[in-house]
Chains A and B, each alone.
Chain A
Amino acid sequence: MQGSTWSDGIVGLLTGLGLPDMLALGIAYGIGAFILVNFGMVSALLLIWITRKAISRMQDRLGPNRLGPYGLFQTVADAAKLISKEIITPSQSDFLAYNAAPILSVFGVLILLAVVPFAPGLVGMDLNVGVLFVVALGSIGVMAALMAGWGSNNKYALLAGFRVVAQLLSYEIPMVLSILTVVLVTGTMSFGRITEFQSLTIGGFNLGIGWLGIMMPAAMLIFFISSLAEAELTPFDLLEAESELIAGFHIEYSGMKFAMFFLAQFVNAWVLSALMAVLFLGGWQGPGVGLPVIGPILGLGYFFIKSYAIYVLQQWVRGTFPRIRIDQMMYFAWKVLVPASVALIVVQAIVQKLPVPDPVIYAFIFLANIGVIWVVVTALQRYIKSATMGTKRSFEPAGLIGTMQKADTYAMY
């Protein structure tokens, strides 16, 4: 913890009233936790609305537009409906596992908000092991999915629980490795200091655009793709593909218990966007955040603009990409993302030990990132071409292979 934080003011006020220090700190953190948790819950309403609007527009529909301005209150009505629904408990379900799973899944997401730096000094708890904290508590979601799948006493739910664990564990590895590249450059695991590292001070004025994503585009891409998988979004949404498989590990849940899984999923997607904004796009950094009074407010604005922009990008991917198969999902994690991120880490570890000034090191890291992207794209192109050659389309003109266009049958002869 450094500098003045939000809790100092409350603690100062309470100790002024004659409360002991520990109690004042406890009350201050209690207030902070209350605000954070409710922010997470309420923002889910907005996130669901953004998703529906964005995907509707992509599918040439209008989306919700009846209740409130731009249909903003549609989600509120849906939440009210879900609360009033009957809660059905399957026979012979396991009481403990079945009922604890939705709670744990929401808990595992909301607790991550504690280390997200919203603005200068506005962070629930700037742990010096913040990065590890996020990685470690990601396992709560995995346990919740397993408990839900097992506790429902339904073999499809159990199988879906296994699928969730396989996907989340596979994509956690490239995600952690891409975060590690940031940790290597910044030399810290606290999100607050990672954000502070990304300032760009010229002539005493903080421009706030020293974003790591500019220097490390490959690491940012790997993080983004893994975050799509971690948030169970398209193209990695085969975990709950309603049209092909049954809905997944929460098939036996109804009413508010189902809504809790739903809420956890949306907030998780946003938290991952926020983490990407913090790690690669400077978090609250932006032009003018160094100014005395207006700086923190600007910072809060920058943070929300960035995180919601990434969230919309996720929904854009969701609205346009097809769903991939489970073998392709595993292949992509273990044979593409993991080697690429390991290569990045090896290059960085060597380059950062070179006895040259920092800008040269950063240039090398940038070149390594571009190189990794080039190698991966070339290799994937070759793979896709060779895979397509094995299909019946290989008889068609080469220019059409890899496209979705229909070949003109008569022109071939």
Chain B
Amino acid sequence: MPELPPLPTISQLVFTGFALFTCASALGVVLARNLFHGALALVATLFGVAGLYVMLEAEFLAVSQVLVYVGAIATLITFAIMLTRSMMYGKTSPLNRQWGKTGLFAVMIFLALYGFVGSIPWADSAPAVLADESMIAALGVEFVTNYVVAFEVMGLLLLVALVGAVMLARDNN
């Protein structure tokens, strides 16, 4: 009798559940015929990714993901969709004239990523990294020492975007 593979542990099952949920809602984003449903599916996808981070014991990353993507970006996208009335109620086709070319590119990128991921010798047993508070503190220190330029440029970019938005929305009088 051939030896059976070991039973999956509970955390593996939960991880698989989250991964399937993420994939299903990601498919929903591109296949939904109503743009608002697409946006809601995007929110679900982002939550699914946050769940994956939690399973990988990166709570800080998970919570930041929800804070930035769901709290800010998804709300912004929803607003943009809602303010374009024709797109909001109408049914749009998930395909447009360029679906052939984009599909080709998507397949090529998938193959490249697949080959890339497959060629990396992943360490299957590494010491666990504890994502406790000292790690968050270390992250903060890195932001204002080693990566201070990138950090400041990012802040400047956001400021420019803010000023630009105010200029666009301002009354001409």
Contact = CB atoms under 8 A, between A and B. Distances in A.
Q: A and B from one assembly?
A: yes
Interface of A: 22-23, 26, 94, 96-97, 100, 127-129, 132-133, 135-140, 142-143, 146-147, 150, 158, 162, 165, 169, 188-190
Contact of B136 (A100, A135, A165, A189): A189
Contacts of A132: 60, 63-64, 67
Nearest to B59: A129
B124 interface: no
Q: Is the interface of B mostly helix, strand, loop or mixed?
A: helix
A143 B36 contact: no
Nearest to B47: A140
A139 B78 contact: no
B40 interface: yes
Contact of A128 (B36, B43, B88, B133): B133
A139 B63 contact: no
Interface stretch (B69-77, B106-114, B147-155): B69-77
B27 to A, nearest CB: 15
Contact of B63 (A136, A147, A190): A136
B75 A165 contact: yes
Nearest to A176: B67
A129 B60 contact: yes
13 contacts: A22-B9, A26-B10, A129-B60, A129-B136, A132-B60, A132-B67, A133-B63, A143-B43, A143-B74, A143-B75, A150-B36, A165-B75, A189-B136
A138 B64 CA distance: 13
Q: Is the interface of A mostly helix, strand, loop or mixed?
A: helix
B37 interface: yes
A147 B59 CA distance: 27
Nearest to B41: A96
In order of increasing CB-CB distance, the 8 nearest A-B pairs are: A139-B71, A136-B67, A136-B66, A132-B63, A22-B10, A129-B63, A136-B63, A128-B133
B79 interface: yes
B24 interface: no
B59 A143 contact: no
Interface string B132-149: 110010000000000000
Nearest to B88: A150
Contacts of B63: 127, 129, 132-133, 136
Pick from A136, A147, A188 the residue with the most CB of B within 10 Å: A136
A94 B88 CA distance: 11
A97 to B, nearest CB: 7
Nearest to B131: A128
A404 to B, nearest CB: 34
Interface in B63-120: 63-64, 66-67, 70-72, 74-75, 78-79, 82, 88
